[in-house]
């Protein structure tokens, strides 16, 4: 079962890798000088897509391994929280420190979905943009360890 889920997760991993590759020039530019309105809007889209891809991975693990998804008004945060805790079917997917880090991306995605792009603040999202590649590498390492450890259970 884990190998099938891992294959499905790897498709999403490739998509997020591609997303970040496409935005690397803009991220690099934003690290050197404050982006203009249009670049901030584009970077907001990046952050939205980035966390949506991560959530797709967590949904796949929850559905295929745990057997269900959280429900209710807070299901997005419940899903993220669940990934930091073991269940009867699996160990924790991510450590709590990474959960806290990813929670900021979840929170931004909520703001992005509710706000007009002209209300986005570079000052509030800069650290997310400038650290998303590092956060992604950390998550990929945790996913690799999770699936490697799970095959030995």
Q: pLDDT tens digit string along 51-67?
A: 999 999 999 999 999 99
Q: Which of 70-84, 88-102, 116-130, 139-153 has the lowest mean pLDDT?
A: 139-153
Q: Which of 66, 46, 50, 36 is nearest to 101 (CA)?
A: 50
Share of the chain above pLDDT 70, in %: 98
pLDDT in tens, 19-38: 999 999 999 999 999 999 99
d(CA 12, CA 120): 27
Q: Which of 21-25, 86-90, 130-134 has the lowest mean pLDDT?
A: 86-90
Domain ranges within the chain, ordered by starting residue: 2-150
DSSP 151: T
- Number of residues that this document lists for the chain: 153
Handedness of CA 23, 29, 33, 37 (dihedral sign): negative
d(CA 85, CA 96): 8
Averaged pLDDT score across all residues of the chain = 95
Query: What is the reported pLDDT for 151?
Result: 59
Mean pLDDT to the nearest integer, 131-145: 98
What kind of architecture, by CATH, is found in domain 2-150? Up-down Bundle (1.20)
Exposed e or buried b per residue across 113-144, where buried means at least 16 C-beta atoms within 10 angstroms of its C-beta:
eeeeeeebebeebbebbeebeebbebbeebbe
Mean pLDDT to the nearest integer, 85-111: 97
Query: What is the reported pLDDT for 2?
Result: 84
pLDDT over 50 at 153, yes or no: no
């Amino acid at each position: 079962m884990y190998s099938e889920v891992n294959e499905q997760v790897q498709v999403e991993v490739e998509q997020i890798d591609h997303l970040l590759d496409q935005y690397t020039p803009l991220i690099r530019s934003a690290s050197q000088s404050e982006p203009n309105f249009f670049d901030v809007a584009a970077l907001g889209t990046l952050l939205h897509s980035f966390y949506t891809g991560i959530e797709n991975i967590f949904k796949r693990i929850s559905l295929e391994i745990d057997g269900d998804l959280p429900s209710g008004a807070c299901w997005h945060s419940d899903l993220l929280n669940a990934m930091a805790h073991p269940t009867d079917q699996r160990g924790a997917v991510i450590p709590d420190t990474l959960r806290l880090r990813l929670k900021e991306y979840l929170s931004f995605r909520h703001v992005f979905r509710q706000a007009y792009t002209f209300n986005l603040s570079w000052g509030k999202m800069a650290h997310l943009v400038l650290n998303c590649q590092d956060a992604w590498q950390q998550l990929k390492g945790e996913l690799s360890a999770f699936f490697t450890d799970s095959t030995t259970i």
